[in-house]
A and B are shown apart, each in its own frame.
Chain A
Amino acid sequence: MTATVGQQAQAAARASDVWKVYGSGEAQVVALRGVSAEFERGRFTAIMGPSGSGKSTLMHCLAGLDSVTRGTVAIGETTVTGLGDSGLTKLRRDKVGFIFQQFNLLPTLTAEENILLPLSIAGRKPDPAWYDTVIDTVGLRDRLGHRPAQLSGGQQQRVACARALVSRPEVIFADEPTGNLDSRSGAEVLNFLRNSVREHGQTIVMVTHDPTAAAYADRVVFLADGEIVSELIEPTADTVLDTMKKLDTPAEVGN
């Protein structure tokens, strides 16, 4: 099944008939089987599926962190498939932001230095107005001089979000961003991600296995066994949960 193309404008990220195969011979594992999907600009899309369904693999391939075995991946107008090392570096600097489950802040840098790290690596200066907007949105103005160890998990994840947002990438990929957070901090982060889509037109693709988290998205794409099997527009936690239950019993999917 192919996910439907969104109504507005072109896609921020696109996968066309993507296959990903690990290993060879008997140890061969097919993680993705001809996945085609588009992720519309200015929308918040969640990728869901049971463990081993290939959702993380799909995200890694989309983001250029992993190569695809067959098919093509594009971000904006850039075709990711076949890009060389310097092309991928440029892509990560300009078009892609990441939010990880483990926050992945540098422990030796302050919150502010962590937020500005991608820009300083690229040798750029932040746009002051946008930087202020981001800091105010994540609500960290009084915590900028703190080290990650002095911040709570939710605050650390908000720093990581600000780091992804500050360079205004084409797409932000979030890999289980609430997986390490309690429900309140998780809700904070998800609200904040949704607001950045609604208010600033940011595009976000989030991998999650938590139906409550997926309910914050505008659209949910379901993966099972390396294939897209279903999707929901304007999901709620209940509809997501129902769909997930069906996926857990593969025999019923065919009916």
Chain B
Amino acid sequence: MFRATLKSLLARKVRLILSGLAVVLGVMFVSGAFVLTDTLGRSFDAVFADGYSEVDVDVQAKPKVAVGEAQGEQVPTPVPAGAVERVRQVSGVAGATGLVNADGARLVGSNGKVVTSFGPPQLGENWVGESDLVKLRQGREPRADDEIVVNQALADAAKVKVGDRVGVLTLEPKKEFTLVGVFGYSGDRTSIGGVNEVAFTTPVAQRLMLGAPNTFTSISVKAADGVRAETLRDDVGRALGGDYQVRTGEQAAADAAASLKEGLSFFNKILLGFAGVALLVGTFLILNTFSIIVAQRTRELALMRAIGASGRQIIGSVVLEAIAVGLVARSSGWGRASASARCWRSCSASWPVG
């Protein structure tokens, strides 16, 4: 009986293609959504781990209103310049740098059009010098108010070179700057996760990106040799009082990744919604094809009954057929899903600069 079912299944592969296809599509959608969001999530983890690799302790002002990633952008509360001085006084601190860092610095390319991004932010920041992570590849750091440096990915996308006059759109209307340098990252990378960066001098960055002089987005604290980041975090926290959020670099990276992943899970839900619709439609398709298949097999099944098959054996043979189709189509759908998710990701990685 088992053998007869399998043989009849193999002999009529064509009739299984349609129902198999429906299963393949449904599985593709669901597993593709999961694979995609998971790989994106991992790459964000890596991006933030890199971004905070130079930071022992990170200080930010506590936000006045807590906002999730899915609900909108966090309104940053600026850190006054005085706080930087206070952090420097804490014992165990080797150095404290005020950082300006905000989304919304859009460079005008050589073709006169604004360079756009398909997701990763376009950061405007203050230039705080080279580090193990960040290295100037051409030119020099910005010294005057109308000088900027950009990262390699942005320079490539905008097709600008050192010495060009370029326009930048920020909180204020378009302003002209001289591009004096281009920087890259360790490991020969041109950007971190496709993020475009424009670095101004500190006063310009404060005015253009935060709209207030003498304020910073955060303070990056470097620990003196032999001081543990956790100890330093507690010391700095005590020195500053309750208005500040003080985290180790690792914590800050994890928090930033978590808030982005919250947005990602929203994206995942949308994809799963589509997958649900695909599955629902697929269910009807599968149901329909299977009833056609069973109708076609009526003669065969009736013969089986006449020569002694029990009702249970007949149902078993139909269920077996369904399971076989399901298994084959599932693995095929899963393979296709991971392939297409990988393709989507590699394509999208090259888009942000397009």
| Contact indicator B308/A121 (Cβ below 8 Å) | yes
Which residues, 117 to 131 on A, are CB-close (under 8 Å) to B? 117-118, 120-122
| Contact indicator B308/A122 (Cβ below 8 Å) | yes
| Contact indicator A98/B307 (Cβ below 8 Å) | yes
| Contact indicator B307/A118 (Cβ below 8 Å) | yes
1/0 contact trace for A103-117 toward B, CB 8 Å?
010111100010001
A93 within 8 A of B: yes
| Contact indicator B4/A118 (Cβ below 8 Å) | no
Contact of A121 among B8, B300, B304 (CB under 8 A): B304
Contact of B1 among A97, A121, A167 (CB under 8 A): A121
| Contact indicator A163/B307 (Cβ below 8 Å) | yes
- Give the dominant DSSP class at A's interface: helix
1/0 contact trace for B1-22 toward A, CB 8 Å?
1011001101100000000000
Q: Please report the C-alpha to C-alpha distance between residue A93 and residue B309 in the assembled complex, in whole angstroms.
A: 8
- Separation in Å of the B90 CB from the closest CB of chain A? 82
Q: How many A-B residue pairs have CB under 8 A?
A: 52
- Separation in Å of the B5 CB from the closest CB of chain A? 10
1/0 contact trace for B283-302 toward A, CB 8 Å?
00000000000000001100
Q: Which residues of B contact A109 (CB under 8 A)?
A: 4, 7
- Separation in Å of the A1 CB from the closest CB of chain B? 31
| Contact indicator A92/B7 (Cβ below 8 Å) | no
Which residues, 217 to 252 on A, are CB-close (under 8 Å) to B? none
- Separation in Å of the A206 CB from the closest CB of chain B? 16
| Contact indicator B306/A108 (Cβ below 8 Å) | no
Contact flag A113-B308 (CB < 8 Å), given A104-B299, A106-B300, A108-B8: no
A133 within 8 A of B: no
B339 within 8 A of A: no
- Separation in Å of the B304 CB from the closest CB of chain A? 7
1/0 contact trace for A126-165 toward B, CB 8 Å?
0000000000000000000000000000000000000100
| Contact indicator B308/A108 (Cβ below 8 Å) | no
Q: Please report the C-alpha to C-alpha distance between residue A86 and residue B308 in the assembled complex, in whole angstroms.
A: 10
Q: Which residues of B contact A98 (CB under 8 A)?
A: 306-307
A10 within 8 A of B: no
| Contact indicator A106/B308 (Cβ below 8 Å) | no
Contact flag A104-B11 (CB < 8 Å), given A120-B3, A121-B308: no
Q: Please report the C-alpha to C-alpha distance between residue A132 and residue B303 in the assembled complex, in whole angstroms.
A: 24
| Contact indicator A113/B307 (Cβ below 8 Å) | no
Q: Please report the C-alpha to C-alpha distance between residue A65 and residue B305 in the assembled complex, in whole angstroms.
A: 10
Q: Please report the C-alpha to C-alpha distance between residue A163 and residue B308 in the assembled complex, in whole angstroms.
A: 12
| Contact indicator B303/A106 (Cβ below 8 Å) | yes
Q: Please report the C-alpha to C-alpha distance between residue A167 and residue B306 in the assembled complex, in whole angstroms.
A: 14
B259 within 8 A of A: no
- Separation in Å of the A134 CB from the closest CB of chain B? 15
Q: Which residues of B contact A107 (CB under 8 A)?
A: 11
Q: Which residues of A contact B4 (CB under 8 A)?
A: 106, 108-109, 113, 117, 120
A85 within 8 A of B: yes
Looking across the interface, which residue of chain A has its beta carbon closest to that of B8? A108
| Contact indicator B308/A89 (Cβ below 8 Å) | yes
Looking across the interface, which residue of chain B has its beta carbon closest to that of A98? B306
Which residues, 318 to 338 on B, are CB-close (under 8 Å) to A? none
B251 within 8 A of A: no
| Contact indicator A65/B1 (Cβ below 8 Å) | no
- Separation in Å of the B128 CB from the closest CB of chain A? 75
B311 within 8 A of A: yes
A-B contact pairs, 27 of them (CB 8 A): A65-B306, A85-B310, A89-B309, A92-B306, A92-B308, A93-B308, A104-B303, A104-B306, A106-B8, A106-B303, A107-B11, A108-B4, A108-B7, A108-B8, A108-B11, A109-B4, A113-B3, A117-B4, A117-B307, A118-B307, A118-B308, A120-B1, A120-B4, A121-B1, A121-B307, A121-B309, A167-B308
Question: What residues make up the interface of B, taking CB atoms closer than 8 Å to A?
Answer: 1, 3-4, 7-8, 10-11, 299-300, 303-311, 313
Question: What residues make up the interface of A, taking CB atoms closer than 8 Å to B?
Answer: 65, 85-86, 89, 92-93, 97-98, 104, 106-109, 113, 117-118, 120-122, 163, 167
Extra 7 A-B pairs, beta carbons < 8 Å, given A92-B307, A98-B307, A118-B308: A89-B305, A89-B308, A106-B7, A106-B8, A106-B300, A121-B313, A122-B308
Which 5 pairs from chain A and chain B are nearest by CB? A93-B308, A108-B11, A108-B7, A118-B307, A89-B310
